[in-house]
Amino acid sequence: MTPEEHFRDGLTALGAGRPSEAVDHFHRAVAAEKRLGADRPQMRYVSFYGLSLALSKRATRTAIELCERAAAHDSFDAVLLLNLGKVYVLSGRITKALAAYERGLRVDPSNKRLQIELARIDRRRAPALPALSRDHVINRSLGRLRASLFSRKSHAAHARPPR
């Protein structure tokens, strides 16, 4: 099989919810590129290999590095930035995921998948008392208090010194 055929089979497996199978196909696509003498494999192969690794096992350092490398090489490919953001979300790196999604939207502002993933991320802080639900009256009250304290602290930090 050609690298592209392995890649398409990997996409099919990912779309069908079989990331472990996809890992094998994307790995084979990367390996086939090397066997054919490519200086480096296509970055979309590398990126989807990293994403499928993260989805099948968990977001390991290897999965993150693969997606970071792909996005760094082809920084104007919104799909690679989408994959990078997804891997960051899986690893709990929400701030980095937001940055990847936002960078992807600067490249392709009409990309619906990036818009959806960006909207999914909860930017709120963790509840003050995690044992209680987010909308419990105590958490809501403590959350408002925390927000007002941080707001005052932020205003004080940005205030100009008197002359």
Report how far apart, in Å, the C-alpha atoms of 104 and of each of 17, 65, 82, 86 are.
Answer: 24, 18, 7, 12
Helix and strand totals (H; E) in the chain: 8, 0
Instruction: Tell me how crowded residue 80 is: count the other CB atoms within 10 A of its CB.
Output: 28
Q: Which of 77, 80, 56, 53 is nearest to 68 (CA)?
A: 80
pLDDT at 102: 95
Six token digits for residue 118: 């960006």
pLDDT per residue over 82-128, tens digit each? 999 999 999 999 999 999 999 999 999 999 999 999 999 866 677 78
Buried b (16+ CB within 10 A) or exposed e, 56-68: beebeeebbebbb
Confidence bin at 157 (pLDDT 50/70/90): low
pLDDT per residue over 9-68, tens digit each? 999 999 999 999 999 999 999 999 999 988 889 999 999 999 999 999 888 899 999 999
Q: How many CA atoms lie within 13 A of 31 on its CB side?
A: 8
The CATH code that applies to domain 3-123 is: 1.25.40.10
pLDDT per residue over 125-138, tens digit each? 777 888 888 788 99
Locate the domains of the chain by residue range. Answer: 3-123, 125-163
Distance CA 149, CA 157 (A): 12
State the average pLDDT for the chain: 89
pLDDT per residue over 71-85, tens digit each? 999 999 999 999 999
**Is the per-residue pLDDT at 153 higher than 90?**
no
